[in-house]
A and B are shown apart, each in its own frame.
Chain A
């Protein structure tokens, strides 16, 4: 099945590269979505099955594959609207969908890869395909951001590769050379600690270019700024999940060895610094997309802390990533509408959104509640669980520090968003006539947000089982 998926999906990608016909493009996109759904459903029904030697439908991969599949529908839909309003020429549109399909394929492969080398290859493939999408608007700024993104990601990924080499050096001590994920932990028991530590550091730095953790967060933030909003939604959610899944897998590989407490402290510091940096910037930022990019950084930091503190934290970190994906994706879909109304992302030039697009404004209000993790929001549950795990791990000082920072985030986001919704802009409003937004374009955001709330309050047993299964190998 996976072979067919790869072949047909790549054929569809190539097809949409050469195709200039609008109707045919629609048909191909729908066919691709059906194919993507097919592989997700098939994987869910055939858990633990290995295909093409290097791909396994394991529980962690399936969780994120399902998230990706759901978000592919909305992202392709919103991309379509975005491209229609930009009136791009048809060649650029073809290139856009070609790169988008390739990006989705390579992310699928990353989630399902069971071999470290294969994982690495497809992470690099995500960088290359998303570069085309980030550069879509073809301005000087997008050129700068794309250059930085591709270059620093490539170097980061090279570092991750160095980490993989060190890991295999550590493995050699016990006479194994297999880099299949499932085989590694058993051979690491009496490996040289020095190699393991080096391997972890290099892989953490390398993969954090994708997850957007401190200190490699800057490129992801820049990429958010210039990318088309539907693509920002992908960078912020599924692509960060790619980084998360790689770091989580690396951590699980070495969690059984003596360096686990050391890894925990590294991840904890990484998370704390990410949150600290994000809060500093959220307080002063004046660009709508950058504000939410920093908010993603904050959530990634929290997920890293969840892994670091262990116990219920492992569960909460994965759960948090899933819920965050739904909420943050709808933020960026809504930002596309806001941009069409105000023709700018600069916060001080926006205002009185309620009178211009009432459905969108209601979405934004619910988003504010969801993203700051106020009670009906699903993120409240996962954040609460992470705080609990920090409490149980006796990280009281770190917990207090984070709580203070989160209060500041809540204030900053609330101030900026409420001002945009209700207060008329103090700057002279653009002379351009705002485009009419059809209310139906907000439906996807309502669905995703409702989904996030439902998953948080009443997580289905399948999801809980899948998460529990993926953290089974970790120490309690």
Chain B
């Protein structure tokens, strides 16, 4: 079951690669949050209330509800056009995403560690690198935040793969940090929207020597 969920997660990455509209992008992010919730639920050995609340907060509330709503608000407020405006055509984008996934599969197979959960690892690394790829190839500043969120999801899967047990306090801290950074980034997007006519990274090239 976990594998099915993870592979669905991987497919959402391909879907983002060819998504034309920003709203689709946001919806996919919300779906990813739900998928992650079920992955964690199936991975959990013992369920106690505190753990459950924490996971619910982290995935459903934060990744699927709060952040998508916030992003939708930013887009509406700044009257951002609906197209994602990638630098590269969708077909090339799809090919690059595929090659990233293939590369991570090859890399993971080369690791000699019997304790490694390969599917987790492949999904995590792929979304890490596709997130970076989305950031590099999109012109809109909002899509940069979305790329950052894809990276965060990848890191989330990675920490599941390794089964790192951070103390709850640290977990809460990490969650809070990511939430606040998305909030701060959103505020700055609003500022950029107020300052410049068009919300594109091409405006941000004045600082140089």
| Interface set of A (CB-CB < 8 Å, partner B) | 54, 115, 117-118, 120-121, 124-125, 127-128, 131, 135, 140-141, 143-148, 150-151, 154-155, 158, 161-162, 164-166, 168-169, 172-173, 177, 179, 192, 194-195, 222, 225-226, 281, 284-287, 290
Name the residue on A nearest B113 (C-beta). Answer: A192
> Known interface pairs A124-B177, A147-B192, A150-B184. Does A287 touch B209 (Cβ–Cβ under 8 Å)?
yes
Interface positions, chain B 178-209, Cβ under 8 Å from A, are: 178, 180-181, 184-185, 188, 191-192, 195-196, 203-207, 209
Cβ contact within 8 Å between B115 and A172: yes
Query: Does B46 sit at the interface, judged by CB under 8 A?
Result: no
Question: What chain A residues lie within 8 Å of B158 (beta carbons)?
Answer: 162, 165
- The winner among B151, B159, B184 for most chain A CB atoms within 10 A is B184
Cβ contact within 8 Å between A165 and B162: yes
Cβ contact within 8 Å between B207 and A145: yes
- The total number of A-B Cβ pairs within 8 Å is 110
Of the A-B pairs whose beta carbons lie under 8 Å apart in the complex, a sample of 12, sorted by A's number, is A121-B170, A121-B177, A124-B177, A140-B206, A143-B188, A147-B185, A151-B144, A155-B132, A155-B135, A161-B174, A165-B158, A225-B207
Complex CA–CA separation, A281 to B155 (angstroms): 35
> Known interface pairs A121-B173, A121-B177, A172-B162. Does A284 touch B167 (Cβ–Cβ under 8 Å)?
no
Name the residue on B nearest A225 (C-beta). Answer: B207
Query: Does B38 sit at the interface, judged by CB under 8 A?
Result: no
Query: Does B148 sit at the interface, judged by CB under 8 A?
Result: yes
| Interface set of B (CB-CB < 8 Å, partner A) | 111-113, 115-116, 128, 132, 135, 141, 144, 148, 151-152, 155, 158-159, 162-167, 169-170, 173-174, 176-178, 180-181, 184-185, 188, 191-192, 195-196, 203-207, 209
* Smallest CB-CB A-B distances: 3 pairs: A117-B170, A121-B173, A124-B177
Query: Which of B113, B178, B207 is in CB contact (< 8 Å) with A144?
Result: B207
Query: Which of A125, A147, A281, A287 is in CB contact (< 8 Å) with B188?
Result: A147
Query: Which of B159, B164, B181, B195 is in CB contact (< 8 Å) with A177?
Result: B164
Cβ contact within 8 Å between B162 and A169: yes
Cβ contact within 8 Å between A148 and B204: yes
Complex CA–CA separation, A241 to B63 (angstroms): 33
Cβ contact within 8 Å between A147 and B164: no
Known: A143-B191, A151-B185. 5 other contacts (CB 8 A): A140-B195, A165-B155, A165-B158, A165-B159, A165-B164
Cβ contact within 8 Å between B162 and A284: no
Question: What chain A residues lie within 8 Å of B112 (beta carbons)?
Answer: 194
> Known interface pairs A150-B184, A165-B162. Does A144 touch B151 (Cβ–Cβ under 8 Å)?
no
Name the residue on B nearest A132 (C-beta). Answer: B184
> Known interface pairs A115-B170, A120-B174, A172-B115. Does A144 touch B204 (Cβ–Cβ under 8 Å)?
yes
Cβ contact within 8 Å between B207 and A125: no
Query: Which of A143, A162, A169, A284 is in CB contact (< 8 Å) with B128?
Result: A162
Complex CA–CA separation, A222 to B204 (angstroms): 12
Cβ contact within 8 Å between B167 and A117: yes
Tell me, rounded to whole Å, the shortest Cβ–Cβ distance linking B128 to chain A: 7
Question: What chain A residues lie within 8 Å of B177 (beta carbons)?
Answer: 121, 124-125, 128
Complex CA–CA separation, A179 to B174 (angstroms): 15
Cβ contact within 8 Å between B181 and A144: no
Complex CA–CA separation, A195 to B170 (angstroms): 22
